[in-house]
Amino acid sequence: LALAPKDKLIFLFLLEDSMLRPDIWTNFFADAPKDSYRGFAHCSIPFQCSLNMQSYLDMGISLVPTQSWFGGCEVWPWWVLVKAALASDFVAGEGLRKFIFVEASTLPIQPFSFVYQTLLQSDSNDICFSPSDEWASGKVEGKDLALVKHHTWVVLNRFGAESFVHGWEVMFEKPEWNFVWRAPRMGTNGFANFSDTVSRNDFNDWRCNLEEIFAAFIYGMYEARVDKVW
């Protein structure tokens, strides 16, 4: 495995009480150089996860404090995970970083070396966008805007991870089930402008926030004037 020593993968696990088939994940990480990756896991039932604490540590995975989600369609646990990863010494420094969002039932089917080399071929965010006819639309101040819908399981670069954490901190308005968040418009640089925002309530078709916030907080909303950017 030829590694660029400064480039690293960060695995983010959203768990309930345990990891599905930890034996498979243990084998996956067994041949990975320890400085090439780290894992962070959020457990909704922390006591159960703590019973397997040593196995997580052996795999290079740290458990983060549990955040009870009360809205946001599970955004809060992801926010806690990404924020903890960004604050770690492992993520600091030069080189590429890829933050991989992993569901409890996810299992690797390729060896670590393949995943490492594939994801670190570029520094782009890896997000699967839905067809434009599935995007939530709205008219604000006479302008047609849309929130780009995407798959909930994404791979972000460092800038994307930082944009997500910052965006949820400043754009989330109500810490309750009847939550509201604001979506930034795209700036002239092709990324989200958090000083120019619109309420999510101004758009039709409510959906899980995780299907919109990564694109919204990294790139901003879609509108005709930046059609060529999208």
Q: What share of the chain is helix, strand, coil (3-state, %, to 5)?
A: 35, 25, 40
Q: What residues are paired with 3 via a beta bridge?
A: none
Distance (Å, whole) CA 162 – CA 83: 8
Instruction: Give the end-to-end CA distance of the chain in Å, rounded to a whole number.
Output: 36
- What pLDDT is recorded for position 75? 87
Q: Which amino acid is at 182?
A: R
The answer to whether 1 and 113 have CB atoms below 8 angstroms apart is yes
Residue tagged 């060529």 (tokens): 228
The dihedrals phi and psi of 39, each to the nearest 5 degrees, come to -125, 150
The answer to whether 199 and 182 have CB atoms below 8 angstroms apart is yes
Helices within the chain (DSSP H only): 22-30, 46-50, 53-58, 75-87, 112-119, 158-171, 213-218
What DSSP string describes 53-73? HHHHHHTTEEEPPP----STT
> Which residues, other chains included, contact 114 with Cβ-Cβ below 8 Å and sequence gap of 6+?
none
Distance (Å, whole) CA 54 – CA 165: 29
pTM listed for this prediction: 0.92
> Which residues, other chains included, contact 176 with Cβ-Cβ below 8 Å and sequence gap of 6+?
70, 71
Per-residue pLDDT of the chain (230 residues; tens, 9 = 90+): 555 569 999 999 999 888 989 999 999 999 899 899 999 999 988 888 888 899 999 999 999 988 765 555 678 899 999 999 999 999 999 999 999 999 989 999 999 999 999 999 999 999 999 999 999 999 888 889 999 999 999 999 999 999 999 999 999 876 555 567 999 999 999 999 999 999 998 998 888 889 999 999 999 999 976 666 65
